[in-house]
Amino acid sequence: MRAVVQRVSSACVYVDGQERARTDPGLLVYVGVADGDGEEDLAYLIDKVRHLRIFTDPAGKMNLDVAQVGGEVLVVSAFTVQADARRGRRPSFDAAASPEHARPLVEAFCEGLAAAGLTVRQGVFAATMDVASHNDGPICILLDSKRQF
């Protein structure tokens, strides 16, 4: 599993012009499931996102995690996070899991973050979404359960 984690002052998801999810200060997480991802990948990503220290402490250092600052998490499923653009100009999405495999892992990811004490909001799986965000920093972190980067 891969994630693009952004520290945001706010973020919102719209589907067909209707607001579907919103978060105030916290994290916007684009998550992509690869073919073959399973429980180990899920546990790794939940732990990393939950404990990622990318919020500033009183000294101005990035030492605090999202829970420590009372932040929320907005999760957006995005198979494009699994894109491979190393060759040519058109990305390949061959590594992305099928919707049948990805949906339960994305749901479990959200449930795992909620079980860890976070307020979690979600985009709409497999929908075309408009995502608006106000990045804070900007801080954007790439995570990969296979540790490829």
Residue 71 lies in a domain: yes
> Dihedrals φ, ψ of 27, to 5°?
-125, 140
pLDDT at 13: 98
* Pairing relationship of beta strands 119-122 and 72-77 according to DSSP bridges: parallel
DSSP-assigned letters across all residues of 53-102: --EE-TTS-EEE-TTTTT-EEEEEE-GGGG-B-SSSSS-B-TTBPPHHHH
pLDDT digits (tens, 9 = 90+) for 23-50: 999 999 999 999 999 999 999 999 999 9
Report which of residues 149 and 57 the model is more confident about: 57
Tokens 């600052």 appear where? 69
* Contact status, residue 74 vs residue 19, Cβ threshold 8 Å: no
Residue 38 lies in a domain: yes
pLDDT at 18: 97
pLDDT digits (tens, 9 = 90+) for 84-135: 999 999 999 999 999 999 999 999 999 999 999 999 999 999 999 999 999 9
What the block records as the tokens of 131 is 């995502």
Whose CA is closest to 23, among 125, 137, 133? Answer: 133
Give the domain range for residue 100: 2-144
Residue 131 lies in a domain: yes
* Pairing relationship of beta strands 18-23 and 2-15 according to DSSP bridges: antiparallel
Residue 7's identity, in one-letter code, is R
pTM here is: 0.96
| pLDDT beyond 90 at 149 | no
CATH number of the CATH domain containing 47: 3.50.80.10
Structurally, how many domains does the chain consist of? 1
Residue 32 lies in a domain: yes
The Cα 34–Cα 83 span in angstroms is 10
The alpha carbon of 49 is separated from its chain's Cα centroid by a whole number of angstroms, namely 8
Tokens 């100009």 appear where? 89
What do you get for the CA distance between the two ends of the chain, in Å? 12
Residue 149 lies in a domain: no
Report the run of H or E that residue 42 belongs to, with start and end.
helix 39-51
